[in-house]
Amino acid sequence: MCFVHGWDYRRLVCQHAKVTLEKELSFTMDKIAANFSNYSAWHYRSSLLPKVHPGSREGTVKEDVLLEEYSLVQNATFTDPGDQSGWFYHRWLTGREKPALDFLLLYISKETRTVTLHLTQQIRIQEVELTVRMNGVLLSFVWHAPNTLLCSPLWYADIPGDALVGDCDSEWKATVRSRDGTEAHADLSVKASEQEARFTGNIPRNHLFR
């Protein structure tokens, strides 16, 4: 007996029922909003975007739409950095050319006491010098990548000790330096009244499928 994946069957039914691709794209958004870990919804969304929002070349997506999608999947990755569903979608969004080493995200959460870093390149944590300072004081972190990956552009760690204790504003500075001397920085101000704050870098044009 041949078993058909539930989402494949849905596509077949929607095709015969004349359901528009726009409605199906909206349906994937509803499913993702309900559960960021819905890998099938992310995958289905990747197949719909080039059809609903086609780019200048066949099989591509408009750049402004890609930027919106990148923001969406970024929310998923720092909500649960260890979950792979949004992360696979992120890999679909990102380009094949190797961009310059830089920060795409520095995210501080007081609620979960975590710091999350997202870089333009995959790195091995033992092969780079990665430092984070708060108010000029060097902090010590144990870094983790999603699903215990050894090489990843996304790393997160628990904030140690009383680094966030007190009612004062704080200044954060993250620096990554590769073996060839390439260096990138991210600066973030966290107000005492804020539970979270983020620095968002510029997405290189060659880092997206245009």
pLDDT at 166: 66
Asked if pLDDT for residue 188 goes beyond 80, the answer is yes
pLDDT band at 205 (very low <50, low <70, confident <90, very high): low
pLDDT at 185: 96
Average pLDDT over residues 122-133: 93
Structure tokens at 150: 């050894």
Cα–Cα distances (Å) from 70 to 14, 88, 140, 203, in that order, read 27, 12, 30, 9
Average pLDDT over residues 4-15: 76
pLDDT at 171: 95
Domain boundary among 75, 93, 111: 93
CATH code assigned at 114: 2.60.40.1130
Q: What are the pLDDT digits (tens) for 65-124?
A: 888 888 888 877 777 777 778 777 877 776 544 678 899 999 999 889 999 999 988 899
Domain boundary among 30, 64, 93: 93
DSSP state letter for 202:
P
Domain count, the chain: 2
pLDDT at 63: 82
- Where is pLDDT greater, at 112 or 167? 112
- Examine the domain organization and report whether 107 and 198 are in the same domain: yes
In a domain, 208, yes or no: no
Domain boundary among 93, 128, 150: 93
**What is the domain extent for residue 184?**
103-203
The answer to whether the beta carbons of residues 186 and 201 sit under 8 Å apart is yes
pLDDT at 146: 82
pLDDT band at 22 (very low <50, low <70, confident <90, very high): very high
In a domain, 82, yes or no: yes
Question: What CA–CA distance (Å, rounded) separates 57 from 130?
Answer: 38
Q: What are the pLDDT digits (tens) for 60-69?
A: 788 888 888 8
